[in-house]
Amino acid sequence: MAHDYPALTREISAGLKQLHQAAPQTMQGFGQMSQAANRDGALSHKHKELIAMAIGISARCQGCLAFHAKTLAGLGCTREEFMEMLQVAIYMGGGPSLMTATEALHAFESFGGGKAE
Protein backbone atom coordinates (compact mmCIF):
# COMPACT_ATOMS: atom_id res chain seq x y z
CA MET A 1 0.00 0.00 0.00
CA ALA A 2 1.46 3.35 -1.03
CA HIS A 3 1.65 6.04 1.60
CA ASP A 4 1.68 9.81 1.39
CA TYR A 5 5.23 10.03 2.70
CA PRO A 6 5.38 13.82 3.13
CA ALA A 7 2.18 13.62 5.22
CA LEU A 8 3.61 10.69 7.16
CA THR A 9 6.72 12.69 8.09
CA ARG A 10 4.50 15.54 9.33
CA GLU A 11 2.36 13.14 11.42
CA ILE A 12 5.38 11.43 12.95
CA SER A 13 7.07 14.79 13.61
CA ALA A 14 4.02 15.86 15.63
CA GLY A 15 4.26 12.66 17.65
CA LEU A 16 7.98 13.18 18.17
CA LYS A 17 7.27 16.62 19.63
CA GLN A 18 4.96 14.98 22.16
CA LEU A 19 7.63 12.42 23.01
CA HIS A 20 10.18 15.20 23.41
CA GLN A 21 7.89 16.92 25.92
CA ALA A 22 7.26 13.70 27.84
CA ALA A 23 10.79 12.26 27.69
CA PRO A 24 13.18 15.12 26.94
CA GLN A 25 16.36 13.38 28.10
CA THR A 26 15.67 10.29 26.01
CA MET A 27 14.87 12.34 22.94
CA GLN A 28 17.92 14.57 23.47
CA GLY A 29 20.10 11.47 23.77
CA PHE A 30 18.64 10.01 20.59
CA GLY A 31 19.22 13.30 18.78
CA GLN A 32 22.84 13.40 19.91
CA MET A 33 23.35 9.80 18.79
CA SER A 34 21.84 10.61 15.40
CA GLN A 35 24.06 13.65 14.91
CA ALA A 36 27.20 11.74 15.92
CA ALA A 37 26.41 8.75 13.73
CA ASN A 38 25.62 10.86 10.66
CA ARG A 39 28.68 13.13 10.64
CA ASP A 40 30.89 12.84 7.60
CA GLY A 41 33.85 10.60 8.32
CA ALA A 42 35.23 7.61 6.44
CA LEU A 43 31.68 7.38 5.07
CA SER A 44 29.77 10.46 3.93
CA HIS A 45 26.45 11.43 5.47
CA LYS A 46 24.79 10.38 2.20
CA HIS A 47 26.34 6.91 2.35
CA LYS A 48 25.22 6.56 5.95
CA GLU A 49 21.69 7.55 4.97
CA LEU A 50 21.72 4.92 2.22
CA ILE A 51 22.67 2.34 4.86
CA ALA A 52 19.92 3.61 7.15
CA MET A 53 17.40 3.33 4.32
CA ALA A 54 18.45 -0.26 3.63
CA ILE A 55 17.97 -1.09 7.31
CA GLY A 56 14.57 0.66 7.25
CA ILE A 57 13.60 -1.53 4.29
CA SER A 58 14.74 -4.64 6.15
CA ALA A 59 12.79 -3.60 9.26
CA ARG A 60 9.75 -2.65 7.12
CA CYS A 61 9.55 0.69 8.93
CA GLN A 62 7.37 3.09 6.95
CA GLY A 63 8.42 6.08 9.06
CA CYS A 64 12.08 5.19 8.44
CA LEU A 65 11.40 5.06 4.70
CA ALA A 66 9.81 8.50 4.85
CA PHE A 67 12.48 10.30 6.85
CA HIS A 68 15.48 8.69 5.13
CA ALA A 69 13.96 9.25 1.67
CA LYS A 70 13.44 12.91 2.52
CA THR A 71 17.02 13.24 3.75
CA LEU A 72 18.47 11.39 0.76
CA ALA A 73 16.57 13.56 -1.69
CA GLY A 74 17.89 16.63 0.15
CA LEU A 75 21.44 15.30 0.03
CA GLY A 76 21.25 14.98 -3.75
CA CYS A 77 21.18 11.19 -3.85
CA THR A 78 20.87 10.12 -7.47
CA ARG A 79 18.39 7.57 -8.74
CA GLU A 80 21.33 5.34 -9.66
CA GLU A 81 22.71 5.46 -6.11
CA PHE A 82 19.26 4.79 -4.69
CA MET A 83 18.63 1.86 -7.04
CA GLU A 84 21.97 0.25 -6.15
CA MET A 85 21.11 0.51 -2.46
CA LEU A 86 17.72 -1.10 -3.20
CA GLN A 87 19.47 -3.99 -4.92
CA VAL A 88 21.60 -4.67 -1.84
CA ALA A 89 18.59 -4.35 0.48
CA ILE A 90 16.62 -6.82 -1.66
CA TYR A 91 19.58 -9.21 -1.86
CA MET A 92 20.00 -9.20 1.92
CA GLY A 93 16.30 -9.25 2.81
CA GLY A 94 14.69 -11.40 0.13
CA GLY A 95 11.04 -11.19 -0.87
CA PRO A 96 9.80 -9.08 2.06
CA SER A 97 12.49 -6.49 1.35
CA LEU A 98 11.55 -6.56 -2.34
CA MET A 99 8.02 -5.48 -1.41
CA THR A 100 9.26 -2.76 0.95
CA ALA A 101 11.85 -1.58 -1.61
CA THR A 102 9.01 -0.53 -3.90
CA GLU A 103 7.64 1.60 -1.07
CA ALA A 104 11.09 3.09 -0.47
CA LEU A 105 11.32 4.07 -4.14
CA HIS A 106 7.88 5.68 -3.94
CA ALA A 107 8.97 7.59 -0.80
CA PHE A 108 12.20 8.78 -2.48
CA GLU A 109 10.30 10.00 -5.54
CA SER A 110 7.66 11.71 -3.38
CA PHE A 111 10.39 13.95 -1.94
CA GLY A 112 11.73 14.83 -5.38
CA GLY A 113 14.32 12.06 -5.58
CA GLY A 114 15.37 11.14 -9.13
CA LYS A 115 12.45 9.88 -11.18
CA ALA A 116 12.70 7.37 -13.98
CA GLU A 117 12.96 8.91 -17.43
**pLDDT tens across 30-61, in order?**
999 999 999 999 999 999 999 999 999 999 99
Q: What is the pLDDT of residue 3?
A: 87
**pLDDT tens across 76-88, in order?**
999 999 999 999 9
Q: What is the pLDDT of residue 28?
A: 97
Over range 87-107, report the average pLDDT.
96
- We find that the CATH architecture of domain 5-110 is Up-down Bundle (1.20)
The type of residue at 22 is A
Extents of the domains making up the chain? 5-110
Over range 57-75, report the average pLDDT.
97
What are the C-alpha distances in Å from 79 to residues 41, 69, 105? Answer: 23, 11, 9
First to last CA, the chain: 23
Q: What is the pLDDT of residue 116?
A: 61
Instruction: Please state at what angle helix 79-110 crosses helix 45-59, rounded to 10 degrees.
Output: 60
